[in-house]
Structure 1
Amino acid sequence: MNHDKEYHMQEQLAIIETVNAIFDLVDAKDWAAVRALIADEVDVDVTSLGGGEPARITGDQLVAGWETGLHARKRSWHLVGHHRLRVADDAATAAVLLKGYAWNRLDEELGSGMWEVWGTYHLSFERAETGWKMNRFQLDVSATNGDDAVRTHIA
Structure 2
Amino acid sequence: MSPLSPAALADRQDVVDTVVRYGCALDAKDWAGARSCFADEIETDYADLRGTGPERVAAQAFVDLRRRALEGLKTHHMSTNHLVTLDGDRAICVSAMLIHRLDPRRESDNTFDTLAYYTHGLIRTTQGWRIARVQQRVAWNRGNPAVHPGARPARP
TM-score (norm 2): 0.90
Q: How far apart are residue 152 of structure 1 and its match?
A: 1.5
1:146 matches 2:143: yes
Give the RMSD, CA atoms, in angstroms. Answer: 1.3
In the other structure, the counterpart of 1:34 is: 34
Fraction of identical pairs, as percent = 23
Pairing partner for 2:106 from 104, 110, 113 = 110
Q: How far apart are residue 11 of structure 1 and its match?
A: 0.6
SS of 1:111's equivalent?
coil
Whole-angstrom CA distance in 2 between matches of 1:33 and 1:50: 24
After the TM superposition, which residues 27-106 of structure 1 pair with which residues of structure 2 at under 5 Å, given as runs?
A: 27-71=27-71, 73-88=72-87, 90=88, 92-106=89-103
Whole-angstrom CA distance in 2 between matches of 1:143 and 1:110: 22
Q: How far apart are residue 121 of structure 1 and its match?
A: 0.4
Whole-angstrom CA distance in 2 between matches of 1:70 and 1:119: 17
Following superposition, which runs of at least 4 residues in structure 1 exceed 2 angstroms of deviation? 109-112
TM-score (norm 1): 0.90
Q: How far apart are residue 37 of structure 1 and its match?
A: 1.2
Whole-angstrom CA distance in 2 between matches of 1:111 and 1:132: 41
The gaps in structure 2 that reach 5 residues or longer are 151-156
Q: Which amino acid aligns with 2:78?
A: L
The gaps in structure 1 that reach 5 residues or longer are none
